[in-house]
Structure 1
């Protein structure tokens, strides 16, 4: 760009003018008329209404429409079907014919600058809607003005036939349960504008409460409305229907289940496919499962003759026998079977599923785009400070990750319908729809379309870059990520310049609250890390100032995190924005005030969760203070401070730190295995109370005592996939023990070997945190220690949070020297 012009162009953008309009690169459609020759096709006519309404909302201009070509065409948007272009002017027919061939659901858009004419032609009725959607995404709309770049020339066909998102109207979601019928219409339309052709609804009975304070109408009524909305836009209606019954073999139980489905299928006006998960929830053996699917299919087809049933091999504790039986049934190719669904908690990688099923049986992906952790695609190597504050289901734009995950396996499926629990994953939905349409689409193109259409042309570059910055906030260790503050500054600049309308836009609010929340956690982490270090330094002087005095001073320092919090204004801004989001879209970011489902989208409840080991230290110090002599207290304080010290010649690893991951063996990159089915992945939880943690990372371990942060973060391998680590440079003639902390979400039976020599046989985790074992001498002969953890068949996975490799010989030498006069 010319350096003289650059400041001038920036100024134009700041005052809301598009520089391209001043230099003749845009056509003005502000006084256009819409011409559409279709008079009866309801989908095409509805698409025209969408074009009028969405332009009207943004510009205040209502474009008139007609069904005949005027003698003099100028400033016109012409809409039609490719197969019925014979009434178009010949030059338009020739232009459309010269463009690349399009197929089902495809469209062509062409601009004729000299006449201010835009052509939007669909291969079929759906294609018209998607062409209009693309046009709306490319328009630059301001109050009283509608502009379009004169170089728009697009011929596009979706690569995948299934493109959609789940929108369950149930209490567990973080926003959908608060939607009105109109809000569902608006949101489903938004998805269609970005190329989605399917919406998945859920029945009134799932693994959830039946109703809550947010729901405007009963669930059975809302799913009827959702189905009607989809039909109006020509979109397919899927239903996720888990097996919630206790018995699918007894005639009386089956009668109840059949009658429930009959009532549901009967009232839904459109239902194209039924997705029945093999588990999560539900837990049926394959023979029982497929017998029940056959019965369901008969009931389904009474009311929806063309609907098919899709099924997933989801099972929490899988065995080879279960999978063998499942795929044997799939390959019988029952007449009612639509295909196989690949989603969360499926042990078999999608490529292996494709290899095991008969050619021609389609696979649909069911990607979890809504969760950050304990999920199908967790944020890689996520910092614990974010994991325990943002939690499992925060607002989570991950555009680059989503494209990578999509493109890693897209060749094995027919497209996807995402697993979503609300509006928190709004950006991720749009990325997936655009990638399902065309996997070559750059992420920034999608984000610019997203911002231009949903927030405004004036913010196209700033908000799209701001969303990318929010994803960058989540990457790597938070303690040294100074980019978090820059991200906040960028969003604050946008906030200062934003109109009242933009400030009330839930999509802008979601980006803004994350920018403030992230920065608040960054500053708290710096502050609380320093407080902990100060407290430890005071405790290290206990011998000179006295143990009781040291304990009291250390506790005073640690309590400052609560008594004198850092940057409280950022916290209060988050609380205010949480209220704004509740009012604008029904987003439930707290349990008490916004009535969120606990452990789901209520990340604002975690805003002040301690980010250091202060609470654990205070807990430990209270015990030391109450017990033993002064000498005993000094010994206990020293042991507390030396907790992570493996001694001379030893090793310590905490798998919440990147350095420790250098020990971990992985044969696949994140790009090759983003779900961690064949490679280690990060996980979070404590799991020391005999129960599997599901949604919340708790700091409580045994007997109500707090636990160290190191127990909340693990390296994990799923199911029976081995977890391997390597330690180099050990003494081949040395004598070593290993202490290992088994904490985490899963309760599993786990075995440890070193160089194929047993260290310990299967033990059940969750009973105690730390175990100690002797390392076999045979495993040390070359000075390299290779460790391998495996789980028994049907287990959820191996998890390790801490390791101490202790050189007993060197430890004895040190103790001997210490005892010498």
Structure 2
């Protein structure tokens, strides 16, 4: 069969269809009308007419259509339908008007079948066409498929939405197979209201739940325990009253997800006692609902907490619906699945929204991006998301992904499509995403452009020549885009990323050169005088602001940021767009963050300038310029750089361990840059080689390897270790340092939160007897992350002195 023109088609469904099945048919007609202007005629009476027909409904309801002629290929496939699945089948030809059958195993199957048809149709003004025949029978791989949609000021867009915008987004997620939406109560670890909220939080919670229910999807609630004392009768009464009010007002609740931590601070034993009480209350209003718990724990003693959690789960309480695996669960998912009783399913709560300092950070991300795009930027990562999904999919019953807004929009749809069928190529998902939501005619270009944006983040930015090509592709689409495409927030946000990436690459090259010139000016201090050299270096470094580069790129980013705020409430700055903070998606506020070591150099210049003696100033300048010099025959490595990280033992590796539970990774200590100027001055400035470092979780060691060493040379090791940001929980850490398998160099290194620790130790000659050396840094106690920034291997004396 050739393509079918559905412009004048009939939509045939059974009489007296209601609820989610009727809603599915409404969605089909409304979405076609929205994109083409064509309103298809609907009928519940079968009569042969010389026009194409879309037959839509469940197998059960379609049997109620009197006289409907069922093609043999359709009836033959009914036995293959599985829950939530559907059949798409085209029929006709040889004088018979063409038809497409959407037959759902149930009401959800009708919705997902309609969604797939919409994703395959080709659009135009006044036209709607299917390119070729269809014969698909499919059902979802995972029984749980969904996303968390929060309504609180922490979100980077959703707090600005109306109930109608939430309904639209829920519909769009359903078109790609989502069956679950997780919402938040009015009281969480965030402010209850914000300047952009159009509806009171509890009212919005009810309105969103009503939308979810109207599509026949499942409503989940992420409900943290925010009380201070769950032994206090007054606290208990208030907490239960709050929950009862919500349970009574929401139309249908499938499950409550209660995190063990982040936020929350209960021990497992009281947690289970309290949760059982909540479960009894929940069942009064929603008899089928159960509570799911996660062993998320942010404390350093997570092993003891987990053992207590396991003991409670092993009692197999009936009110417990399942276990949730997500951020701060320190047990690998395969191990968790082995340890949890088989009666309890595991649901994934995967962080698809953040770039670093998160569950699944971007692998080996360039520091220039970390400094500017930050933790929560527009981040299409289709290939990475598919891999993360698939490598752990066998151990869980699906995912309701964690999100903080709209920045991870592409990731949401990729994840949903993988939950439906892990064999789906991501480029197919991107084509359907682009065709349905952005522009059908340019779907292939947009899909390839999204893949190119992901490649922009691969490897060192300075040598990624694809970044400029990616912008050229997006600019060409921008120039050719029709008004609807130009006005699409999904096009605008990714177009902004293309401009932003190129602007960052342009600045990186320029500011790196300025740093080299400033250092050259300081090298001339013995000739020009130290004070003149300091002044000259400061002037050169200031050119990044006084003589900036790439202004047109920045201006276009600013324009797009304003358009996105007006369009979808995307909050890309704190002042203009009311973002909660720069770390909560306001990456435009960091668009000009320094990409060279200007902060450290300026602090050094200030300290040097305070010296009263010219000789002392010259000596300080020489020391600053040679800070990383290991001397002849020595070694220096910034473990947060691409080159330095190659010296680190890779552990399990990203492919097998994308959550880095047993794999060292490059991480970023941005909190160092937010230190007060006085504190930075005490430390002699904050070099970027402290900000970017190697990080390891829990008991995973950081092993630094050397070969081709001279066994006759004595060495000492110098290391800089970075403390965690100060938080609500104690975050000091203690570590050991060993050489080889048995030589303990330092067994009690205290790494204070919010600080930097430097250690120097002699290396026993026996550790280098074969010309090889391994240095192992290992957390011994305290907070669960270990950060090593710089390592020097310094020869104490060279061969001629032996």
The TM-score bracket by the shorter chain reads over 0.9
Most deviating of 388-397 and 776-785? 776-785
Query: Which of 120, 125, 131 is the matching residue for 2:107?
Result: 125
Higher mean Cα deviation, 545-554 or 744-753?
744-753
Deviation at 1:25, TM superposition (A): 4.2
Which residue number in structure 2 is paired with residue 56 of structure 1?
33
Aligned to 1:497: 480
Check conservation: 2:603, 2:681, Cα contact below 8 A.
Answer: no
Distance in 1 of aligned mates of 2:781 and 2:602? 41
Separation in structure 1 between the aligned mates of residue 542 and residue 155 of structure 2, nearest angstrom: 36
Query: Quick check: 1:46 aligned with 2:23?
Result: yes
Q: Cα–Cα, structure 1 residues 808 and 53, in superposed 2: closer, same or farther, change >3 Å? A: same
Matches within 5 A, 1:754-773: 754-755=739-740, 756-766=742-752, 767-773=755-761
- Range 678-687 or range 417-426, more displaced: 678-687
Q: Deviations over 1:136-190 (max 9, x none)?
A: 0001111100010222221110010100000010110001111100000000001
For residues 276 and 572 of structure 2, what CA distance do their matches in structure 1 show?
41
Name the TM-score, length of structure 1 as normaliser: 0.93
Shift of 1:85: 4.7
What is the CA–CA distance in structure 2 between the aligned matches of 1:50 and 1:332, rounded to whole Å?
Answer: 45
Measure, in 1, the Cα distance between the counterparts of 2:787 and 2:434.
41
**Deviation larger for 99-108 or 521-530:** 99-108
Within 5 Å, give how 1:199-238 maps onto structure 2. Answer: 199-238=181-220
The residue aligned with 1:181 is 163
Q: CA deviation at 1:688?
A: 5.7
Q: Which residue of 2 aligns with 1:70?
A: 47
Residue 81 of structure 1 corresponds to 58
Counterpart of 2:571? 588
Structure 2 contact 302–330 (Cα < 8 Å) conserved: no
> Are the equivalent residues in 1 in contact too, given 2:13–2:62 (CA < 8 A)?
no
More divergent stretch after superposition (285-294 vs 624-633): 624-633
- Out of 632, 637, 640, the residue aligned to residue 653 of structure 1 is 637
Shift of 1:126: 0.6
* Whole-Å separation in 2 of the counterparts to 1:647 and 1:704: 23
Distance 2:209 2:70 in 1: 41
Aligned counterpart for 1:384 among listed residues 326, 349, 367: 367
1:806-817 equivalences under 5 Å are: 806-810=794-798
Within the candidate set 424, 433, 437, 2:416 is matched to 433
Q: Partners of 2:678 and 2:541 in 1: how far apart?
A: 17
Unaligned 5+ residue runs, structure 1?
Answer: 1-23, 815-821
Q: Secondary structure at the match of 2:442?
A: helix
Equivalent in 685, 688, 691 of residue 709 of structure 1? 688
Distance 1:787 1:618, change over 3 A: same
CA RMSD of aligned residues (A): 2.0
1:732 aligns with: 711
* C-alpha deviation, 1:84, in angstroms: 4.5
Give yes or no for contact 2:712–2:799 (8 Å, CA) kept in 1: no
Other-structure match for 1:340: 323
Measure how far apart 1:619 and its partner are: 1.8
Q: Which residue of 2 aligns with 1:641?
A: 625
Q: Which whole-Å deviations, capped at 9, do the CAs of 1:507-540 have from their partners, x for residues lacking one?
A: 0001110001100000000100111111112222
1:625 counterpart residue number: 609
SS state of the match for residue 242, structure 1?
coil
Question: By how many angstroms is 1:812 displaced?
Answer: 9.9
Deviation at 1:82, TM superposition (A): 2.1
Shift of residue 735, structure 1, vs aligned partner: 2.0
Per-residue deviation, residues 585-639 of structure 1 (Å, max 9, x unmatched):
0000000110101121000000000000123212211221221422222211111
Q: 1:712–1:744: 8 Å Cα contact kept in structure 2? A: no
Equivalent residue, structure 2, for 1:298: 280
Deviations 1:678-706 (CA, angstroms, capped at 9, x unpaired) = 111121115569xxx9xx99997455974
Per-residue CA deviations over 1:113-139 (Å, capped at 9, x if unaligned) read 522211111011110000000000001
| Contact preservation (8 Å) 1:107, 1:122 | yes
Name whichever of 490-499 and 618-627 sits farther off. Answer: 618-627
Pairwise CA distance, 1:269: 1.6
1:236–1:272: 8 Å Cα contact kept in structure 2?
Answer: yes
Distance 1:26 1:655 in 2: 57
Distance in 2, matches of 1:269 and 1:721, equals 46
User: In terms of mean alpha carbon deviation, does 218-227 or 648-657 score higher?
Assistant: 648-657
5 Å-filtered alignment, 1:473-512, equals 473-512=456-495
Q: Could you list the runs of 5+ residues in structure 2 that have no partner in the other structure?
A: 726-731
* Contact preservation (8 Å) 1:684, 1:697: no
Residue range with higher mean Cα deviation, 603-612 or 309-318: 309-318
Contact 1:77 1:118 in 2 (8 A): yes
* Counterpart residue number, 2:541: 558
**Aligned counterpart, 1:802:** 790
Alpha carbons of structure 1 residues 811 and 261: separation in structure 2 relative to 1, 3 Å: farther
Confirm or deny: 8 A CA contact 1:38 1:45 kept in the other structure: no
Aligned to 2:728: none
CA–CA separation in structure 2 for the residues paired with 1:700 and 1:224: 48
Aligned to 1:667: 651
Q: Would the aligned equivalents of 2:666 and 2:695 in 1 still touch at CA under 8 Å?
A: yes
The more displaced of 197-206 and 81-90 is 81-90
| Displacement of 1:674 | 0.4
Shift of 1:394: 0.3
> Which of 392, 401, 405 is the matching residue for 1:422?
405
- Alignment pair present for 1:749 and 2:737: no
Question: How is 1:134-145 mapped onto 2 (pairs within 5 angstroms)?
Answer: 134-145=116-127
Secondary structure of 1:479's aligned partner: helix
**How far apart in 2 are the matches of 1:812 and 1:306?**
81
Cα gap change, 1:232/1:529 in structure 2, threshold over 3 Å: closer, same or farther?
same
The answer on whether the counterparts of 2:279 and 2:290 sit within 8 Å (CA) in structure 1 is yes
Indicate which of 72, 76, 87 corresponds to 1:108: 87
In 2 relative to 1, CA 98–688 (structure 1 residues): closer, same or farther, beyond 3 Å? closer
**Counterpart for residue 545 of structure 1:** 528
1:171 aligns with 2:153: yes
Contact residue 687 and residue 744 of structure 1 kept, 8 A: no
Quick check: 1:270 aligned with 2:252? yes
- Is 1:107–1:123's contact at 8 Å kept on the other side of the alignment? yes
User: How far off its partner does 1:92 sit?
Assistant: 2.0
Find the residue that maps to 1:116 and give its secondary structure: strand
Q: SS of the residue aligned with 1:742?
A: strand
TM-score (structure 2 length as normaliser): 0.95
Contact 1:35 1:76 (C-alpha < 8 Å) held by counterparts: yes
* 2:292 counterpart (310, 323, 335): 310
Give secondary structure in 2 for the equivalent of 1:544. helix
Report if the CA contact (8 A) 1:28-1:145 is conserved.
yes
Where do 1:4-19 residues align within 5 Å? none
My pick for the range that moved more, 402-411 or 740-749, is 740-749
1:235 Cα offset (Å)? 0.5
Other-structure match for 2:699: 720
1:245 aligns to what? 227
Would you say 1:195 and 2:177 are equivalent positions?
yes
The farther-off stretch of 234-243 and 83-92 is: 83-92
